[in-house]
Chains A and B, each alone.
Chain A
Amino acid sequence: MTSTGRRLHFKTFVLIMLMVVFGPLGDAVLRKGMSRVGAMASWAPADVARFFFRAFSSGMIWVGIGSLLAFFVAYMLVLSWADYSYVQPASSVALCMVALLGYFGLGEAISPLRWVGILVICAGVLVVGHTPPSTTAGG
């Protein structure tokens, strides 16, 4: 691999790591917040508005949004050079992080089959991760 190729791989790796930390953290905090908000009563406009008003009145939702914004900035930057069809699956290591946060942090029950599914997804991610990050002229 050339030094340019190594540099591209390194900065892609760093930004994907930031995505893997901030994305799942944001998702787990949002789940915690939304489980307190409760389900939407119906699709009636007043109920939908009340549901989102309750959601955005929760401090925990804003912490989750902050974490997802950090994820989004890292995502935007990495997409300035790397393929979308590379970054998207490569960042799905975050799925394992989400499952671990759900299991240990939120006490969610995860069936063995779901764990297998998550591991298969991660195997897919590894396969994608061994392809070149950019195949377009701009990358």
Chain B
Amino acid sequence: MLRELIFYVLIIVPGTGGELCVTRAMKAIGEVTDFRPMALLRVIARAMRNGWMWIGILFMTIGFFALLGMLSVANVSFVIPATALSYAVGTLGGKFFLGERVSRQRWVGVLLVCIGVSLVFIGKG
């Protein structure tokens, strides 16, 4: 039980933190409008020169290792819906770390996601 809890926290906290850092890096690059392969490779190369991208990748790697650990002991149909709690953490991060304007409607959606995650947890037993 403790092992699952540790894996779970590591998926949510560094995993979501990493995604927020990647978002910050991609926002610095600006909107991608050219989807030809060479142009995409140039975008990725530019993204890799941004420090936030590397911090994000480091955090997401921690989250990924924790995901592997969790998937070794629990069903995927439980693990992935349960980690939707990161949507609430991510929305808070979007508001305070990235300066996004989160509307009331978007908060309602996130609240529904949280209720759904709770039901997934209760449904595990």
- Interface of A with B (CB < 8 Å)? 24, 27-28, 30-31, 34-35, 37-40, 43, 51-52, 55, 61, 68, 73, 75-77, 79-81, 83-86, 88-89, 92, 94-95, 98-99, 101-103, 106, 108-131, 135-136, 138-139
Contact = CB atoms under 8 A, between A and B. Distances in A.
B98 A136 contact: yes
Nearest to A86: B106
Contacts, number: 212
Interface residues of B, number: 64
Given A28-B76, A85-B100, A80 B26 contact: yes
A115 B43 CA distance: 39
B120 A114 contact: yes
Closest 8 pairs between A and B when the two form their complex, measured CB to CB: A117-B119, A124-B112, A102-B77, A113-B123, A121-B116, A85-B94, A114-B123, A127-B109
Interface of B: 3, 19-20, 22-23, 26-27, 29-32, 35, 40, 43-44, 47, 64-65, 67-69, 71-73, 75-81, 84, 86-87, 90-91, 93-95, 98-103, 105-106, 108-124
A120 B114 CA distance: 9
A17 to B, nearest CB: 14
Contact of B71 (A30, A79, A119): A30
Contacts of A40: 3, 69, 72
A108 B77 contact: yes
Nearest to A131: B106
Given A89-B109, A92-B87, A102-B76, A135 B100 contact: yes
Given A85-B100, A114-B81, 13 more contacts: A27-B71, A30-B67, A30-B71, A88-B86, A92-B84, A95-B80, A99-B81, A117-B122, A118-B116, A121-B112, A124-B110, A128-B105, A136-B27
Contacts of B81: 95, 98-99, 114, 117-118, 121
B75 A89 contact: no
Given A95-B81, A124-B113, A113 B119 contact: yes
Contacts of B79: 27, 31
Contacts of B76: 27-28, 30-31, 98, 101-102, 106, 108
A89 B113 CA distance: 8
22 contacts: A52-B68, A75-B22, A76-B26, A79-B26, A80-B26, A83-B94, A85-B90, A85-B94, A99-B77, A99-B80, A102-B76, A102-B77, A110-B77, A111-B124, A113-B120, A118-B81, A118-B116, A122-B116, A124-B87, A128-B110, A131-B106, A136-B99
